[in-house]
Amino acid sequence: MPGPGSYLIGEEEKQALLEVIESGWLYRYAEPMATSFTARVLKLEEEFARYHGVERSVAVNSGTAALFVGMAALGIGPGDEVIVPGYTFIASIGSIVYSRAIPVLAEIDESLTLDPADVRRKITPRTRAIMLVHML
């Protein structure tokens, strides 16, 4: 069974991916000769930032990396608490621990997302963030 969002990937996206794979340059911090891929990444970042009405965006290689960057951007650090659902992917908790913060596990409800009542009970003066996670 195809995963959520798979219907959004059409021939144009497949062709763009194939061009990058065939170029041999799979990440932007490679060689100066990798300009076509670097240009694609920069264009993606610019268009993403413009679409969201922000000054900048940074493309990363995975959701895990995005969580790590997000924790750093928020200034999450030692002693801070981040509320996260107990039903989550390991990277959610890993990004909190990597930031030397404290994950506070909250219950989920029938929607498989955070139970607002349990989140309210878990908030303390050291709570710096509430991480929303969807597993579907």
Please determine, for residue 20, whether its predicted confidence score (pLDDT) is greater than 60. Answer: yes
| Packing angle, helices 11-23 and 35-52, rounded to 10 | 140
Rounded Cα distance between 47 and 132, Å, is 25
* pLDDT tier for residue 6 given thresholds of 50, 70 and 90: confident
Instruction: Report the predicted TM-score, pTM, of the whole model to 2 decimal places.
Output: 0.76
Task: Locate all alpha helices (DSSP H) within 88-129, ordered by sequence.
Answer: 90-98, 116-122
Instruction: Yes or no: say if 115 and 95 are a contact pair by the CB < 8 Å rule.
Output: no
pLDDT tens across 48-101, in order?
A: 999 999 999 988 889 999 999 999 999 999 999 999 999 999 999 999 999 999
Instruction: Yes or no: say if 98 and 68 are a contact pair by the CB < 8 Å rule.
Output: yes
Rounded Cα distance between 82 and 89, Å, is 15
The number of beta carbons lying within 10 Å of the beta carbon of residue 116 is 11
Domain boundaries, the chain: 9-52, 63-130
